[in-house]
Structure 1
Amino acid sequence: MEDHLSMTFEEVSKMATGFPGVTEEISYGAPSFRVGKAMLARLREDEVFVLKCDPSERDGLIAAQPDTFFLTDHYAKHPYVLVNLESADPDQMRTLIERAWKMVAPKSFTEPD
C-alpha cells in the first residue's frame, strides 16, 4: 500500500451508510453506525475510527500496519480495531467496513436469496 494515504470521516460515513440497514446515530457523543441495535463503527476523537473487527484479523492488521491500526486497553477485550483515518487506505477500509457489516447485519441482508 502507498504511504501518505488519508481518509475523512465523511468518506467512511458514505461507505458505511452504503450498506443495507446501516443508520448513522450518536453514540457516546459521537457519530456511530448501526444495523438495528448492533454497532458497526463509530468516530472517536482525533480522526480515529472504531470499527467492528474479528479479533483474529485485528491482530494481523495491527502487526502489518501499526501506524494505521491499533488498540487501547478499553477495546482489547472487544471485537473492534481502532483506525487512524489519516493513514487509512480507502480500498482497504471499504473491505473492512463490509466485513464489519457482515458481522452485525441480519442474514437476510448478507446472503443472496
Structure 2
Amino acid sequence: MSEIARTLDGVKESRAKGLLRWTLDGRMVARQYDDESIVIRIDFAERERLLAAHPDLFFVPPRFDAHQKVVLRLADADPAVVKSALVAAWNLQRAAD
C-alpha cells in the first residue's frame, strides 16, 4: 500500500497516533484504519461506484456516512483496485487547490 501511495506525485507518508497517513499538501489522501484496512478520502460518486463494484473490499462505517471517505480492506484487494482508489483520492485533493 505504501509503495502505491508514494508513486503519486507530491504524496507524503507520515504517522499520526502511530498509524500511517498519506497526504498531499497536508490534505488526507488515505490513512491507516486498522491493521488490515485503510480509509480513503474520495468523492461521493466514486465512493458509490467502488461500493457497487467491490462490496467485498469497500465499506462505509456509519460515522463516515456524511463524509467523503470509504474504508478498503487490503487483505484480498487487487493492487490495481487499490491504485485506482488512491488515484481518485489524489485527484480529489489536487483539485482542492
Same fold (TM over 0.5): yes
CA contact (8 A) 1:21 1:105 kept: no
State the TM-score, normalizing by the size of structure 2.
Answer: 0.87
Higher RCO (C-alpha 8 Å, min separation 6): 1
Correspondence 1:13-52 to 2 at 5 A: 13-52=2-41
* 8 Å contact kept, 1:54–1:80: yes
Specify every segment of 5 or more residues in structure 2 that has no aligned partner in the other structure, as ranges.
Answer: none
More divergent stretch after superposition (90-99 vs 34-43): 90-99
Query: Greater Rg, structure 1 or structure 2?
Result: 1
Alignment RMSD: 1.8
Query: Aligned to 2:56, what secondary structure does the other structure show?
Result: coil
For residues 46-90 of structure 1, the C-alpha deviation after alignment (integer angstroms, 9 at most, x for no partner) is 311111111112122223322100010121111111000012111
The alpha carbon displacement at 1:24 in A equals: 0.6
The number of equivalent residue pairs is 97
Identity %: 31
Unpaired runs of 5+ residues, structure 1, are: 1-11, 109-113
